[in-house]
């Protein structure tokens, strides 16, 4: 059943819910630990509790804090608890946002506007980020007309600090580091970036959307974690997602500034609107009350003890999975991840990493692919504790199967990903993705058909593989 216009008569609630369940029948199976991103699930009891907390403020709107003082109090306390967790000090302040992307967007917008006020001579602002920075900063740079400068990574996948300093010029308005970065789970040398930021009198934002609600507790468990938060003098702001390892309802993130000197530049105020004076602390106008309330409920209900318990389960599970992958001769973990996010790949020339991913997906695992270098990606949550050995066995069997069948590199999705990852004509890739987006969000709303006949899929994939090989040979000459 498909609805492209309103039904003449509304359906009964039970019928609607039944249809909704049917829509989700082919979605990624996160409940059985088959996904390694997108969903952060602690346990069913916690989820039911969050739903109740969300429902208490389902209709309330954070747009006007004077009308709903409860939501303002929830937000204030979420920000202060997060700031304390990240050692920000008494002057720390900030806001909740709709997710990590909004937090990153706001960091760029804030420092751009701060530069406009304090350094008006800058006409073409630039920010310096690691090559491993989250793509949200690419979006922010495009949205806010700030030139993004990429600093290379060292062999350990951390940003090269010397390169960062060399890239600074009179147009630089911001330096960004990750704690940790999404692709490899490593923390950039924040203390070294801080030294540069202080010397050059530049702000330093730490993107801890992934690690903000896990690293503090991993550190307390005794794991070696390099300096990453406000204890580092030059850090002026941080972003941390409550809806990731804070185990709140989506979408909830926090951006914290060292003091109001920075946060004030995030606000939007317009005094001449016919609808009255308008003031907004973040990007959204309407701000869902349920999300704010659920974030507060998640933090208060778990407390430090709960977060420590989560961290212990997550890190023990992560270490077991990493150990299992490293026990496979010909497989490796990239870099030295500091928490539960990591990349892994084949280093056997006869075993294609993306082909391993294809086989894992046929086993029901939803596996993300990375590029430059080719790798597979994992993000561990408590739900994965029950599937550790199953996953390790499937990775091992997939590796051995590809070893025996190296032609799989040029079949299935492996050929597609190989072509996308390696061909030098990046604009062609962009244009093809644009066409795909136009299809998904256009008049017909067609998601690319992944359920086509196998022989058709294999034919397309084989052509893609051959095309990639021709391009590779061409550009080698």
End-to-end CA distance of the chain: 54
Q: What is the pLDDT of residues 361-419, one digit of tens each?
A: 889 888 899 988 999 999 999 999 999 999 999 999 999 999 999 888 777 676 566 55
Alpha helices in 221-352 (DSSP H): 260-263, 289-326
Q: What gap in Å lies between CA 325 and CA 277, rounded to an integer?
A: 58
Residues 6+ apart with CB under 8 A from 388: 317, 320, 321, 324
**pTM of the shown model:** 0.86
- Given this model, what pLDDT does residue 82 score? 97
Q: What is the pLDDT of residue 406?
A: 85
| CB distance 83 to 256 below 8 Å | yes
Beta partners for residue 115, in sequence order: none
Per DSSP, 121 falls in state: T
Q: So what's the pLDDT on residue 452?
A: 38
* Predicted local distance difference test score (pLDDT) of residue 35: 75
Residue 403 makes CB contacts below 8 A (sequence gap 6+) with 330, 348, 350, 351
Token pair 């720390």: residue = 92
User: What is the distance between the alpha carbons of residues 389 and 393, in angstroms, rounded to a whole number?
Assistant: 6
Tell me which residues of the chain have a pLDDT lower than 70.
Answer: 28, 30-33, 36, 412, 414-426, 428-430, 441, 448-477
Rg (CA), the chain: 24
Identify the CA nearest to 174 among candidates 235, 95, 245: 235
**What is the pLDDT at residue 263?**
94
pLDDT of residue 1: 72
H helix intervals, 331-381: 353-362
Instruction: Give exposure, 122-150, as e/b (b: 16+ Cβ within 10 Å).
Output: eeebbbbbbebbbebbeebbeebebebbb
Residue pLDDT, tens place only, 57-70: 887 777 777 777 88
Domains, the chain: 54-301 (3.40.640.10), 313-440+458-476 (3.90.1150.10)
CA distance 73 to 66: 11
pLDDT at 449: 55
């Amino acid at each position: 059943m498909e609805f492209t216009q309103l039904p003449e008569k509304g359906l009964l609630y039970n019928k609607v819910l039944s249809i909704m369940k049917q829509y989700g029948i082919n979605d990624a199976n996160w409940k059985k630990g088959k996904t390694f991103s997108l969903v952060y699930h602690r346990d069913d009891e916690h989820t039911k509790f969050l739903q109740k907390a969300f429902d208490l403020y389902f209709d309330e709107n954070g747009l006007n804090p004077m009308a709903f003082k409860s939501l303002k109090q929830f937000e204030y306390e979420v920000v202060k608890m997060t700031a304390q967790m990240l050692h920000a000090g008494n002057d720390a302040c900030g806001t909740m946002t709709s997710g990590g992307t909004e937090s990153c967007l706001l960091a760029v917008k804030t420092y751009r506007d701060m530069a406009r006020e304090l350094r008006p001579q800058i006409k073409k602002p630039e920010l310096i980020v690691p090559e491993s920075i989250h793509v949200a900063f690419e979006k922010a740079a495009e949205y806010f007309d700030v030139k993004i400068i990429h600093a290379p990574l060292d062999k350990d996948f951390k940003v090269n600090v010397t390169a960062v300093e060399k890239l600074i010029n009179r147009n630089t308005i911001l330096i960004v580091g990750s704690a940790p970065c999404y692709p490899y789970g490593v923390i950039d040398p924040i203390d070294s970036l801080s030294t540069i930021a202080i010397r050059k009198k530049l702000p330093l934002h730490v993107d801890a959307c992934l690690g903000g609600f896990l690293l503090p507790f991993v550190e307390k468990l005794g794991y070696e974690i390099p300096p990453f938060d406000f204890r580092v003098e030059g850090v002026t702001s941080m972003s941390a997602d409550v809806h990731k390892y804070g185990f709140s309802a989506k979408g909830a993130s926090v951006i914290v500034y060292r003091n109001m000197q920075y946060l004030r530049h995030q606000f939007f105020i317009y005094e001449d609107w016919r609808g009255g004076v308008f003031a907004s602390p973040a990007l959204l106008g309407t701000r869902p009350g349920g999300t704010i309330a659920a974030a507060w409920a998640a933090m208060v209900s778990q407390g430090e003890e709960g977060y420590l318990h989560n961290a212990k389960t997550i890190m023990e599970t992560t270490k077991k999975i990493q150990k299992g992958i490293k026990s496979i001769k010909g497989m490796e973990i990239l870099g030295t991840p500091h928490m539960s996010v990591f990349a892994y790949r084949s280093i056997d020339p006869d075993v294609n990493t993306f082909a391993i991913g294809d086989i894992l997906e046929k086993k029901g695992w939803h596996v993300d692919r990375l590029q430059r270098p080719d790798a597979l990606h994992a993000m561990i949550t408590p739900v994965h504790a029950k599937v550790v050995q199953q996953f390790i066995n499937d990775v091992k069997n997939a590796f051995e199967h590809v070893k025996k069948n190296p032609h799989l590199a040029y079949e299935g999705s492996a050929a597609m990903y190989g072509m996308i990852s390696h061909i030098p004509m990046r604009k062609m890739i962009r244009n093809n993705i644009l066409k795909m987006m136009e299809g998904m969000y256009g008049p017909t709303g067609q998601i690319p058909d992944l359920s086509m006949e196998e022989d058709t899929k294999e034919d397309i994939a084989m052509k893609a593989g051959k095309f990639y090989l021709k391009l590779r040979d061409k550009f080698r000459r």
